[in-house]
Structure 1
Amino acid sequence: MTNTPLRIGIIGADIRASWAGASHIPAIEAQPGLKLAAVATRKEESAKAAANAFGAERWYANPYDLICDDSIDIVTVAVKVPAHRDLVLAALKAGKAVYCEAPLGATLVETEEMAAATGSLHTAIGLQGRLNPSVRRAIEIIASGKLGTLLSADVKATTFGYGPTTLSNYDYFNKAASGASFLTTTVAHVLDVVEAVLGPITEVDARTKLIWPTVSVVDTGETSHREIADHLDLIAETSQGASVSVQVLAGIESDPQFVMEVRGSKGTLMLRGHHLAGVQVGDLTLSASVPFALPDIPVATGNGLTADEFWAGAAINVGEVYASLARDLRIGTYHTPGFAHALHSSQLIAAVERAAVTGQRQLVPNALCLKRAAAVR
């Protein structure tokens, strides 16, 4: 492809929804090689408002019209999970590169279908935490052998979500049919960072709990009932031989943290984050007992027009995904975690769910094959 800016169309860039405005929009604006060409929602009024607020050239009240726009290079799907399948398949059929928020599908079957439809097209999945500059540097430290033989890792993670209260617009996260559960969102992001640093998880033993079965919907005064787990304890083995313990706590509205400590025979390293929404949002810091070069400066740091202080730094990791996808498109590589990676993540979460239900350790399908594929790519 030429050096002209890659033109991006975002489906779901509603000014009333914080995520696209806080992450995708500033991530695109920060990179001269990218251009927000169009936005789409389901209503003309909101589509026009989004185009005006975000500076998009075009707006569409029908997302499929955006997909059919021949000038669009990358279609970003940033809507609720149940709507992913039809939009993603349409974009792939139109020959577009596709960036979809995670999880890719509402079910494992949907994810398999979309991954199979990718062909040679470029895709990106919104498991953006693994592309954080500090995570990338941690990967390099371990690959260099400075930590020696990997012995263990301990991970503690929190999120403000899935606690005793919610807003009506987010209550769908509490329902099993939505596909956007505590496991497929929060836990999947945590485990993806673990896998980025230590290699694919090959075996899991997990226990889940439902701590808050009754949820107060604060903006309506109604009561909702949570249908999914909101707590996880997990022990895993990775392809690099490290034993990993993971605890993920929900409903934490003060002193949030992500802490991952890796211990080897010759040293240790630690990744830390402090965003209320979890490891995938905001920046991470790296420390180690061995010398290392400072992590790269993120390509994007700012907030979007609809962002409040809560979403500060939301564009950092999303910006790294766009930068990686743009490089792949320009030089013909496939380094950006795409829909095959999304399928592995869904298979991993399915294994976690089976382990929690059966009380028995579970193998993760294709984990070692994924490691071998990454090694030769």
Structure 2
Amino acid sequence: MTEKQLRVAVIGAGHWAVSSHIPGWQRDPRVEVVALADIDKEALKAAAKDFGIERTVTNYRELLDDPSIDVIDVATGNAMHFEISMAAIAAGKHVLCEKPVNSDYTETRRAAALAAAKGVKTKLGFTFRFAPAIQYAKHLIDQGFIGEPYIFNGYEQNSQWLDPQTPLRQAETDADTSVIAVSSIEGYGAPIIDIMHWWLDAPMTAVVGTMRNFVPERMVRETGSMHRMNIDDGDMWIAEFEHNRLGSIQSSYVTVGNFPGIEARIYGSEGAIIVRLVEERGICQTIKVAKKDQVEFEEIEIPEAFFPEDGASTEDWPFLFYSNLCKDFTTEILSGDSVNQGDFVQGALVQETINAFEKSFRDRAWCDFPLSGSSAQAGMGRA
């Protein structure tokens, strides 16, 4: 076996690929990024030079038949996620894909089923699941620190598009401006929904909530002109779970605050945990805990074991959190066992939750969950 045990090809050379994916993989000494693909030749050339990647292609399919490539990392725009993921899985590659795999949860589930049949592993870009503070909190929950879970409160909110002059992709608009289109809850709510399911660790049974369009006129990135965008830029939800557990979600990118704007709180019979993933005072994460007999929350240190090599909370969060994601996926693949957290099964569950949230808003009523029978939550325990 060579010193580099895992060979990765990254599809996409845009901002998120160069700020998180490529450096995240290259941080791990077990991994070599051997190829890069993008239809934008200038972006492709620049990224390859910056990261020392020798092989570049404009057609990703050229990489699928290469038996030396172990992992395909899909870091393209949303429209290509499903196509590339399915093609890579069919070719027998492990796949990391940015969210969502598909806006239809049944298609994401189909991709998960194909991966299981092919014997390959998958992972969604649930970046914040892999923040050291979030991982440590989950460890504490599993060790019984909070006792029986009661309530989860999740927030993903920042002021990225509070200013209507900040350009937003045309893909975020909807042709029928009389109908509010899903935006924040899918693009920004997904990571905190993932954490909610993971921490509460119980089947969800019903949801209710609402969406709002607070800033109706926005700058369109592709044209540079203002356009009517009737999109969800803020929303609030309540969810019921088995075992008498409750969850709530608030997602918005027009709420004053810094990136990444994540806060996850869980309260139980014995204690509580609050994790903040917000760049403030030179750090990107904090964890505070309290017990029922010591109700004042105190900040605690995150053990080194939950960080990537030489990692620290003073690093930029995209690099730190994604380094942990890549490290985790590498370990899962090389281990050969069945462990595979944050995979396409979990992605399908999160997407179905988003679809249920939207249905609740459209119907102006509680929505039963799952949407399509008990099979929808298969794999909950291993997510």
Determine if the TM-score, normalized by the shorter chain, exceeds 0.5. yes
Offset of 1:2 from its aligned partner?
7.1
After superposing the two structures, state which structure 1 stretch, 147-156 or 351-360, moved more: 147-156
Q: Tell whether 2:324 aligns with 1:326.
A: no
Match of residue 285 from structure 2 = 284
Which deviates further from its counterpart, 246-255 or 165-174?
Answer: 165-174
Structure 1 residues 180 and 114 mapped into 2: Cα distance closer, same or farther (>3 Å)?
Answer: farther
Choose 343-352 or 324-333, whichever is displaced more: 324-333
User: In 2, are the aligned partners of 1:125 and 1:338 still within 8 Å (CA)?
Assistant: yes
Is the contact between residue 166 and residue 218 of structure 1 (CA under 8 Å) also seen in structure 2? no
Residue of 241, 245, 248 corresponding to 1:245:
248
Higher RCO (Cα < 8 Å, 6 or more apart): 1
1:273 maps to what in 2?
277
RMSD: 3.2
**Structure 2 regions of 5+ residues with no counterpart?**
292-297
Matched, 1:353 2:358: yes
TM-score normalised to structure 1 length: 0.84
SS at 2:107 equivalent = helix
Distance 1:105 1:218 in 2: 23
The answer on whether the counterparts of 2:98 and 2:125 sit within 8 Å (CA) in structure 1 is: yes
Secondary structure of the residue aligned to 2:302 is: coil
Counterpart Cα distance in 2 of 1:363 and 1:301: 45
Tell me which stretches of 4 or more aligned residues in structure 1 moved more than 6 Å: 366-372
- Note the C-alpha offset of 1:97: 0.6
Q: Distance in 1 between matches of 2:157 and 2:272?
A: 22
Q: Deviations over 1:330-373 (max 9, x none)?
A: 12123232111111111111111111111222232289767774
Match for residue 83 of structure 1 among 76, 80, 85: 80
Query: For the structure 1 residues 215 and 43, does the alpha-carbon distance in structure 2 shift closer, same or farther, using more than 3 Å as the test?
Result: closer
SS in 2 for 1:194: helix
Secondary structure class of the residue paired with 1:228: coil
Counting only pairs closer than 5 Å after superposition, residues 1-377 of structure 1 correspond to structure 2 as 4-13=4-13, 17-118=14-115, 119=117, 120-165=119-164, 170-175=169-174, 181-200=183-202, 201-217=204-220, 221-252=224-255, 254-255=257-258, 257-275=261-279, 283-290=284-291, 294-295=302-303, 296-299=305-308, 312-333=316-337, 334-365=339-370, 373-375=379-381
**Residues 182 and 232 of structure 2 are in contact (CA less than 8 Å); yes or no, is this contact kept in structure 1?**
no
1:23 shift after superposition: 0.5
**Equivalent position of 1:306 in the other structure:** none
Task: Assess, with a 3 A threshold, how the Cα gap between structure 1 residues 331 and 166 changes in structure 2: closer, same or farther.
Answer: farther
Query: SS of the residue aligned with 1:90?
Result: helix
Letter in 2 for 1:145: G
Report if the CA contact (8 A) 2:167-2:219 is conserved: no
For each residue in 1:150-174, what CA deviation from the matched residue of structure 2 results, as whole angstroms up to 9, or x when unmatched?
3323333313345453655733234
Kept in 1: contact 2:155–2:192 (CA 8 A) = no
Other structure's SS at 2:288 match: strand
Report the Cα offset of residue 122 of structure 1: 1.0
Q: Structure 1 residue 297: deviation in Å? A: 4.4
Classify the secondary structure of the residue corresponding to 1:289: strand
**1:139 Cα shift?**
1.7
Match of 1:305 in 2: none
TM value normalised by structure 2: 0.83
Identity of aligned residues (%): 24
Question: One-letter code of the match for 1:210?
Answer: N
Deviation of 1:75 after TM superposition, in Å, equals: 0.4
> CA distance change for structure 1 residues 156 and 111 in 2, over 3 Å: closer, same or farther?
closer
State the AA in 2 paired with 1:189: P
1:265 deviates by 2.7
Q: Deviations over 1:288-344 (max 9, x none)?
A: 114977343421688xxxxxx9x9320222222212221221121232321111111
Preserved contact between residue 275 and residue 287 of structure 2 (Cα < 8 Å): yes
Gaps of 5+ in 1: 277-281, 303-308
